[in-house]
């Protein structure tokens, strides 16, 4: 990986814990029994990812790998709730794919402009004002705040470009993108001049344009990590169309047909889907090639059924026709690929039967404490029937219901699961 461009990194994020509930009793002159008035703790801050179009690399994450949101404030007396913590905003380049390292699940594809909550802050704990009942008028306890989610993440930048330029080093990709767009890549007559992908907007007419990416040169074995191009193959994954640039003049002693076959082999080894992407072939450096060289290569490409163009990026000959055709081809293709987040919640992956729990009884209330249940409660919607059904199934399959019955729970008794209270029903 190069100092100027970083497109893959691992980080740790931790949402804020919820503040603790307060134990407090109302004290006022001439009021004999004010009762409990402990307020709830505030919610911990979420970890939120947001696209920043001023960023085009993940290099900043080289210097900061751990991110932690603030904790919610504790509750206070007089039913004062603790302040909820601010969310921690993490800005990333457009096209960043966020993956949970432990499960391999895609959590977000930061291709749009909407913020995405990656890790949720813990709910605040309940103050003792919540636990007063006719039989328990002086609750001397409150609940601590829930823990915020902590995740090990893998960030991978996959550029958002309609067209990906591929080909051997020094075939003229950088020159082409410089003459058909406003991009100004570094250009020199030696291999691997391009060390970072370059994006350029190609304008066809007013209001009609597309984005093209100059992917650093591939060589044989690139899909297995040889050379520099393998570092950037991921950036071609999203492209709707591949523009394959070949040096038809053979100026470096290579055969154009062999070059074409080698690059396509590397694309296939990297991704079968990528190998089947629509492809346009441009024979570059026609101003340096013989008519026989151009004809032989052109006939080979046409036998494959692929669109073929003769161009000279250095003199701009044929480049406008190539761009016009490319634009028209894009109109017939699906939109840019977006990596769908895995809808399966993390808590559904946990095996509740292997998780421990503790049940205690205090003033007739059955308190169930289990760290793994906090994640389930955080994700569950108790107003949704299916979600509530799943929650009940977890309590049954984990042995919690059996333990409650062993301790003598009766119908109508209060159960508190990590601060969530409900009446027990057989």
Domains of the chain with bracketed CATH: 1-158 (2.70.210.12), 163-331 (3.40.50.300), 348-426 (3.30.300.350)
Q: What pLDDT does 141 receive?
A: 75
**Percentage helix, strand, coil for the chain under 3-state DSSP, each rounded to 5:** 25, 25, 50
Task: Specify the higher pLDDT residue, 238 or 71.
Answer: 71
Q: What pLDDT does 145 receive?
A: 85
CA–CA distance, 389 with 383 (Å, rounded to integer)? 11
Do 107 and 66 touch, CB atoms closer than 8 A?
A: no
CA–CA distance, 373 with 352 (Å, rounded to integer)? 9
Task: Specify the higher pLDDT residue, 158 or 15.
Answer: 15
Do 193 and 244 touch, CB atoms closer than 8 A?
A: no
Q: How far apart are the first and last CA of the chain?
A: 60
Rounded to an integer, the average pLDDT of 218-242 is 61
CA–CA distance, 245 with 286 (Å, rounded to integer)? 12
Residues 6+ apart with CB under 8 A from 71: 16, 17, 18, 19, 44, 45, 85, 145, 148
Q: What pLDDT does 99 receive?
A: 94
Rounded to an integer, the average pLDDT of 88-108 is 92
In order, the DSSP letters of 219-250 are -TTGGGT-TTGGGGGGGGTT-SEEEEEEETT-
Rounded to an integer, the average pLDDT of 211-218 is 76
CA 294 distance to own-chain centroid: 44
Question: What count of other Cβ atoms lies within 10 Å of the Cβ of residue 71?
Answer: 24
Which residue is it, tokens 């913590």? 85
CA–CA distance, 161 with 56 (Å, rounded to integer)? 13
């Amino acid at each position: 990986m190069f100092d100027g461009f970083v497109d893959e990194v691992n980080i740790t994020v931790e949402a804020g814990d919820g503040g603790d509930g307060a134990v407090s009793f109302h004290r006022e002159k001439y009021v004999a029994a004010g009762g409990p008035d402990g307020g709830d703790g505030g919610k911990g801050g979420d970890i939120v990812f947001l696209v920043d179009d001023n960023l085009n690399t993940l290099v900043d994450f080289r210097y900061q790998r751990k991110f932690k949101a603030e904790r919610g404030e504790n509750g206070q007396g007089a039913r004062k709730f603790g302040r909820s913590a601010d969310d921690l905003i993490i800005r990333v380049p457009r096209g960043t794919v966020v993956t949970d390292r432990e499960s391999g699940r895609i959590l977000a594809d930061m291709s749009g402009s909407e913020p995405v909550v990656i890790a949720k802050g813990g709910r605040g704990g309940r103050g003792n004002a919540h636990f007063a009942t006719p039989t328990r008028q002086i609750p001397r306890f409150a609940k601590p705040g829930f823990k915020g989610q902590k995740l090990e993440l893998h960030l991978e930048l996959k550029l958002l470009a309609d067209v990906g330029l591929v080909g051997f080093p020094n075939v003229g990709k950088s020159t082409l993108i410089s003459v058909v767009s406003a991009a100004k890549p570094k250009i020199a007559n030696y291999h691997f001049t391009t060390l970072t992908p370059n994006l350029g907007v190609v304008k066809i007419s007013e209001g009609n344009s597309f984005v093209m990416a100059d992917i650093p040169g591939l060589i044989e074995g690139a899909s297995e990590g040889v050379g520099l191009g393998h570092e950037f193959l991921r950036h071609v994954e999203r492209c709707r169309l591949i523009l394959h640039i070949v040096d038809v003049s053979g100026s470096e002693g290579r055969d154009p047909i062999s070059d074409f076959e080698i690059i396509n082999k590397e694309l296939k080894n990297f991704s079968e889907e990528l190998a089947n992407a629509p492809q346009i072939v441009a024979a570059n450096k026609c101003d340096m090639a013989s008519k026989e060289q151009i004809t032989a290569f052109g006939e080979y490409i046409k036998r494959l059924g692929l669109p073929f163009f003769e161009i000279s990026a250095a003199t701009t000959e044929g480049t406008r026709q190539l761009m016009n055709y490319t634009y028209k081809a894009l109109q017939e293709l699906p939109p840019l690929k977006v990596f769908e987040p895995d809808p399966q919640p993390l808590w559904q992956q946990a095996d509740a039967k292997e998780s421990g729990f503790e049940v205690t009884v205090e003033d007739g209330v059955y308190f169930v404490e289990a760290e793994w249940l906090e994640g389930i409660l955080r994700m569950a919607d108790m107003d949704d029937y299916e979600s509530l059904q799943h929650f009940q199934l977890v309590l049954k399959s984990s042995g919690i219901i059996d333990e409650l019955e062993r301790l003598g729970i009766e119908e109508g008794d209060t159960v508190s699961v990590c601060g969530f209270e409900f009446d027990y029903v057989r």
